[in-house]
Amino acid sequence: KEVGNIGIGHATTSLSQMVNKQVGISLPELKLIPLLTVPQLVKNEDPVIGIILELKGDAKGFLLLLLSKPTAKFLVRLVIGEADVTKGFDEMETSVLKELGNIMGGTYISALSNFLSISIGLSPPSDVYDISDAIINQVVCLMSPDVEDVLFLKTQFDINSEKIDGKILIFTDSHSLTKMLEAINKLVGK
């Protein structure tokens, strides 16, 4: 939990700097869940924005940031001052969302990497606009077949009294997950 709290704290600071507003945060919910239960936790019939970053180095896999369309439009509006919530996402809005995902995911992974003393890098972000099940299936198809568990982080940000739900999922192969858990156990003296 401490690893998740530190990571999301760094991501919150980065988000605050990017939108130039004070950002509050609820205590994040962090758990290791079986891959098969992910769709029930992120179920959303409405299309969502998925920002995908590939993990490289000591941990291989993918980080997925999921945002509802209203949340994504709200964040875009904070950054560039405008966003038509009735339309899809234009090139500028998509670029802003990718950068938000890159900054939030990057600071989260950087904090995780530093805390665990392992090396994890990230690819440039890609974006997907679809229902959550389809986005998750896309990430799973990119993974090796031995993915069994997913690190699931859910939190709520507060910007200008607006509540924003954020979900981060980290998909890693079993070797990478073992390496991260060993680093955590080493830190706590097990």
CA–CA distance, 78 with 64 (Å, rounded to integer): 22
The average confidence (pLDDT) of the chain is 82
- The confidence score (pLDDT) of residue 57 equals 92
Q: What is the pLDDT of residues 16-65, one digit of tens each?
A: 777 777 777 766 677 889 988 888 878 766 788 999 999 999 899 999 99
Q: What is the pTM of this model?
A: 0.85
State the pLDDT at residue 53.
94
d(CA 166, CA 189): 32
- Please state, as a whole number, how many other Cβ atoms lie within 10 Å of the Cβ of residue 151: 20
Stretch (H or E) spanning 31: strand 29-34
> Left, alpha or beta for 160 (phi > 0: left; psi -120 to 50: alpha)?
left
pLDDT of residue 61: 92
pLDDT for position 54: 94
Q: How many domains are contained in the chain?
A: 1
Identify the band that residue 84 occupies on the pLDDT scale cut at 50, 70 and 90: low
pLDDT at 115 over 60: yes
pLDDT, residue 85, reads 56
The CATH number of the domain holding residue 96 is 3.40.1550.10
**pLDDT tens column, 130-159:** 888 889 888 988 887 778 888 888 877 788
Which structural domain, as residue segments, surrounds residue 46?
2-187
How far apart are the C-alpha atoms of 139 and 62, rounded to whole Å? 7
What span, in angstroms and rounded, lies between the C-alpha atoms of 162 and 71? 9
Element containing residue 98 per DSSP (H, E):
helix 91-116
3-state secondary structure of 144: coil
Tokens of 60: 């291989």
